[in-house]
Amino acid sequence: MNCRLIATTASAFMLCNVAAHAQDIHEHGSSTLQIVREGNAVTLRLDAPAMDLIGFEHEAETDEQHAAITSAQEKLSDPLGLFGIPEEAGCVLDHTQFEGPLSEPVGELVAGHHGHDDDHDRDTEHADVIVEYEFTCANPAAVTRLDSAFFAAFSSARELNLQVVTENGQFQQLLTPAMPSASWQ
Ligand SMILES: [Zn+2]
């Protein structure tokens, strides 16, 4: 089990990897965004079907598919804008880690559990994109809302399961293109 201990001045609790659970479901159109705020450290973890971000889940073959990967990487390289983290929080991106297809150099996109390379098998393959962002925020108390541009950036995305953990507790909301914003304590 992938858990980590979150210790705060008020309490200590285990945060288990709910994103990994969501990843197991792998439903096209449905992504998960996990936000953990602790002191000045804010971590965002996006878990999305590759289909939603690049339009396919197999090895990139065409120029168009390579371009889709590059485009997605560019959009995902601006998480403050993409997820609408408040400017007054003063968050600075320290580190970005890609897992899954977008972590591969362009041209080496590989879907999970491959082994055969014919088109028939590809129909049953799926791949998730996981991106983890680590921020240091001068005013983390302002990280109490977001106004996500995720749906505008990725038109195949239909819902974003927002899960927030702060010193004040936990919060969940399902964001959609019609309601891409949320606020919490
Ligand atoms: Zn899939």
Bridge partners (DSSP) listed for residue 121:
none
What's the CA-to-centroid distance between 119 and ligand 1, angstroms?
15
Which range is least confidently modeled, 21-35, 109-123, 166-180? 109-123
> How wide is the angle at C-alpha 17 spanned by C-alphas 36 and 35, nearest 5°?
20
Backbone dihedral region for residue 19 (phi beyond 0: left; psi -120 to 50: alpha; all else: beta):
alpha
What's the CA-to-centroid distance between 74 and ligand 1, angstroms?
22
What's the CA-to-centroid distance between 63 and ligand 1, angstroms?
21
At 156, is the pLDDT very low, low, confident or very high (cuts 50, 70, 90)? very high
How confident is the prediction for the chain on average, in pLDDT? 82
Mean pLDDT of 163-175: 95
Residue 161 clears pLDDT 60, i.e. is over it: yes
Residue 59 clears pLDDT 70, i.e. is over it: yes
> 61-70: long-range contacts (C-beta < 8 A, 24 or more apart)?
65/109, 66/106, 66/107, 69/101, 69/102, 69/106, 69/109, 70/106
Residue 111 clears pLDDT 90, i.e. is over it: no
- Give the number of C-alpha atoms closer than 13 A to the C-alpha of residue 160, restricted to the C-beta side: 33
What's the CA-to-centroid distance between 126 and ligand 1, angstroms?
4
What's the CA-to-centroid distance between 3 and ligand 1, angstroms?
25
What's the CA-to-centroid distance between 88 and ligand 1, angstroms?
37
Residue 162 clears pLDDT 80, i.e. is over it: yes
Mean pLDDT of 158-172: 95
What's the CA-to-centroid distance between 25 and ligand 1, angstroms?
10
> Which residues hold their Cβ within 5 A of ligand 1, which is an ion?
49, 51, 57, 126
Q: Please, is 108 exposed, middle or buried when counting C-beta atoms within 10 Å of its C-beta (0-12, 13-18, 19+)?
A: exposed
Residue 6 clears pLDDT 70, i.e. is over it: no
Give 97's contacts (C-beta < 8 A, 6+ positions apart): 103, 131, 132
SS3 176: strand
SS3 84: coil
What's the CA-to-centroid distance between 57 and ligand 1, angstroms?
6
Rounded to two decimals, what is the model's pTM? Answer: 0.78
What's the CA-to-centroid distance between 10 and ligand 1, angstroms?
40
Tokens 């007054």 -> residue: 88
C-alpha distances in angstroms, 168 versus 12, 36, 51, 165?
11, 11, 35, 8
Buried/exposed code over 26-38 (b: 16+ C-beta within 10 A; e: otherwise): beeebbbbbbbbe
